[in-house]
A and B are shown apart, each in its own frame.
Chain A
Amino acid sequence: MQSNIISSNTKITLQDKAVFNVVFKEYYATLVLFSNNYTYRNQEASEDIVQDVFVKLLNDKREFQNLLVLKSYLYTSVKNACLNYLKHLKVKNIYKTEEEASFNKEGFFLDNVLEEEVFIHLNNAIHQLPEKCRQVFELSLKGIKNKEIATQMGISIETVKSQKKRGKVLLKKLLKNNIYIFFILLSVI
């Protein structure tokens, strides 16, 4: 399905300004949220950790076969940095240490990767929708019924329905191209 793109031969490195801009924009927030799972939602610590991972990656001048390899490297690096951060945390209690044991498990890591990846796809796709369509879609994803969306936004139920329909069509396209968009961006610049 996507294998032709995944095995593409263009090596990527963050040293390339265009690559850096795209990857950072796409991945910074996701990695911070991912890191939050390890840092007991200490957002400041998470941001520091992710920033340092990017700085290190820039300094290392490392090259990656493709985007997926780079992504997986980012997740692994952030995880390792988080575990390292926890090791150096001065305040600890027994409850935390027990929880931390699970942090080291591969399953915990992979679940978190999956979770963040799902949300980054959704977040990216939804943010590319036209404004009204996006509002309707976001509310509907939150489980709010059509009628309520209509009153909240001051539009008719018919409009809500048609916007949802439109959103679905657009999202289908957006999600389909999600990975591709990235490569188009890279090859254009």
Chain B
Amino acid sequence: MENDKIIAQLKISLLISKSICGTISNEEHILLENWLQKSPKNKILFKELSNEIRLSQKLNDYQKINVQNAKQKVLNKYHSKKSFIFNKKWFKYAAFFIGFIGLSYFALQINTIEPSIVINENDITLELESGDIKIMSKEGKIKIVDNKGVLQSEQNGDRLNYSNKNNINKLAYNTLNIPNGKKFELVLSDGTEIYLNSGSSIKYPVKFIKGQSRKVFLEGEAFFKVTPNKFDSFIVNSNNLNTKVYGTSFNITSYSEENNTKVVLVEGKVGVYKNDLQIKENSYLKPSQMATIGAEDTDIVITNVDTYLYTAWMENTIIFKSEEFQNLFKRLERHFNVQITNNYTGLNQEKFNGIFKEKDIDYILNVLKNNIAFDYKITDNKIIINQIKKSE
């Protein structure tokens, strides 16, 4: 009902604006005249709208509004609300592996070129071989070409794809950085799909060269679905640990603030070996096994695990299983892109269990403090944790 009335107004408005500009046709004039005769109110309205002062005021008002700015705000609000929905297809694939990496690898990452564009710390960025940095905006569609104009990759929102036919035959690397609170999908030149978690970075060849092993460097956490290739093996280097993949899919985590590297295999077969050792020293993992190596350790320890604990992040689920608070809050920092300051050091060694599916940080902290009481205060993206003061 109201809709029809509004639409009638929309139609008549065009006639009025034409009349104001003096561009109304005879036919249209008759239509407008009919409308004006319908009610005295319409005549008053028409007169008001034709008022020059009103018009110039309106044209001024229009100029005062920054539409571009507002659009950005709307998109930001929309994206912050939109929770990440993980594509189910990832779970179909055979094998996963997860690793946690020590501090030393991070040092290598810092030595990057000074960017010439303004980069927000919340931006997903792509560093090209040339040192140029591109921002992968949420809605962005960018084509990356090399200096000869050859297409390397195409971005479409949350996904960057290198699997196109081009004649590149030189090894050149790109590095993708995913900030805290964001996730991203990458398709390499061989069709290998990589799903990156928050706070991660990965270095990889723009194009894999035939006859050479396919080697990528990861810091952070990622899920891989590797395209099988009997001749060119796929190797993920994460700190002091290499993971050799035998044509399956897997998942890696390797964060600088974690002091060890962990590899968890869900299905399929992967081999892990240390950087300074030959491949014969590697260890093969069976499904549901985890390989752990500390930053200072010399031996790789293999244990049986529940793989869901290490892959639930892809469903936007956070799981803690007897996890110490000092590790747990680092995970929350990455996941929610927040900074947590813990002034209650007694809490650090306390262990927590919990599963949180698509919950916000406030909810999670509230649940945790029901187990062991503490105070927390959230201001924007900063969180301060304090011991509860005794009232007596």
B67/A51 in contact, CB under 8 A: no
- What's the interface size class on A, roughly? 35 or more
Q: Is A143 an interface residue, CB under 8 A from the partner? A: yes
Q: Are B17 and A125 in contact (CB under 8 A)?
A: yes
Chain A positions 83-126 with a Cβ under 8 Å from a chain B Cβ = 106-107, 110-111, 113-115, 117-119, 121-123, 125-126
Complexed CA–CA distance, A29 and B61 (Å): 9
Cβ B65 vs Cβ A110 within 8 A: no
Stretch at the interface among B48-56, B294-302, B338-346, B348-356: B48-56
Q: Are A47 and B58 closer than 8 Å at their CB atoms?
A: no
Q: Are B14 and A121 in contact (CB under 8 A)?
A: yes
Cα(A28)–Cα(B69), bound, Å: 11
Query: Hey, which chain B residues are within 8 Å of A168, CB to CB?
Result: 21-23
User: What separation, in Å, do the CA atoms of A126 and B55 have in the docked complex?
Assistant: 12
Check A106 against B45 for contact (C-beta < 8 Å).
Answer: no
Report the bound CA distance from A113 to B11 in whole Å: 11
Contact with B along A17-45 (1 / 0, CB 8 A): 10000001100110011001000000100
Instruction: Tell me the bound Cα distance from A175 to B24 in angstroms.
Output: 9
The one of B49, B62, B67, B73 in contact with A33, judged by C-beta atoms closer than 8 angstroms, is B62
Whether A110 pairs with B22 at a CB distance below 8 angstroms is: no
Contact A138 B49 (CB under 8 A): no
**Contact call B62/A172, Cβ cutoff below 8 A:** no
CB–CB A71/B10 < 8 A: yes
Interface of A is mostly: helix
Pairwise interchain contact B77-A51, C-beta atoms closer than 8 A: yes
B5: contacting residue among A2, A106, A125, CB under 8 A: A106
Q: Within A49-64, which residues are at the interface with B (CB < 8 Å)?
A: 50-52, 54-55, 58-59
Chain A residues with Cβ below 8 Å from B53 are: 142-143
Chain A positions within 8 Å of B41 at CB level: 107
Q: Does B71 contact A (CB under 8 A)?
A: yes
Q: Mark A72-84, 1 if CB is under 8 A from B, else 0.
A: 1101100000000
- Residues of chain A within 8 A (CB-CB) of B59 are 119, 122-123, 126, 138, 141
Instruction: Check A111–B10 contact: CB distance below 8 A.
Output: no
Q: Which residue on chain A has the smallest CB distance to residue B82?
A: A59
Dominant SS at the B interface? helix
In the complex the two chains form, is A28's CB within 8 Å of B52's CB? Answer: no
Say whether B139 contacts A113, CB under 8 Å: no
B321 within 8 A of A: no
Cβ of B81 < 8 Å from any Cβ of A? yes
**Chain B positions within 8 Å of A12 at CB level:** none
Residues of B within 8 A of A59 (CB): 78, 81-82
A28 and B45 within 8 A (CB): no
> A153 in the interface, Cβ–Cβ < 8 Å?
no
In the complex, what distance in Å separates the CA atom of A178 from the CA atom of B81?
34
Whether the Cβ atoms of B77 and A117 lie closer than 8 Å is no
Residues on the A chain within 8 Å of B22, using CB:
168
Number of A-B contacts (CB under 8 A): 137
Nearest-Cβ distance from residue B105 to partner chain A, whole angstroms: 37
Find out whether the CB atom of B67 lies under 8 angstroms from the CB atom of A122: no
| Best-buried of B6, B14, B16, B71 by chain A (most CB within 10 Å) | B6
- The smallest C-beta distance from A22 to any residue of chain B, in angstroms, reads 12
Chain B nearest CB, measured from A23 CB (Å): 11
Chain B contacts for A186, CB-based, 8 A = none
A49 to B128, CA, bound (A): 41
Q: How far is the CB of A51 from chain B (nearest CB, A)?
A: 5
Question: In the complex the two chains form, is B20's CB within 8 Å of A24's CB?
Answer: no
A54 to B314 Cα, complex, angstroms = 29
Cα distance, A106 to B6, chains bound together (Å): 10
- State whether A175 touches B18 (Cβ < 8 A): yes
Query: Are the C-beta atoms of A117 and B9 separated by less than 8 Å?
Result: yes
Chain A residue at smallest Cβ distance from B2: A76
Q: At the interface, yes or no: A155 with Cβ under 8 Å from chain B?
A: no
- A83 to chain B minimum Cβ distance, whole angstroms, is 14
Residues of B within 8 A of A50 (CB): 70
Decide yes or no: A55 and B52 within 8 Å by CB, A28-B71, A47-B70, A123-B59 being known contacts: no
Q: Which residue of A lies closest to B12 (CB)?
A: A114
Is B6 touching A113 in the complex (CB atoms < 8 A)? yes
Are B23 and A172 in contact, CB atoms less than 8 angstroms apart? Answer: yes
Q: Which residues of A contact B (CB under 8 A)?
A: 2, 17, 24-25, 28-29, 32-33, 36, 43, 47, 50-52, 54-55, 58-59, 68-69, 71-73, 75-76, 106-107, 110-111, 113-115, 117-119, 121-123, 125-126, 138, 141-143, 168, 171-172, 175, 178-179
Selected A-B contacts with CB under 8 Å, 6 pairs? A24-B70, A25-B71, A28-B71, A33-B61, A119-B58, A175-B14
**A-B residue pairs, 5 tightest by C-beta:** A117-B13, A121-B17, A143-B52, A72-B6, A172-B23
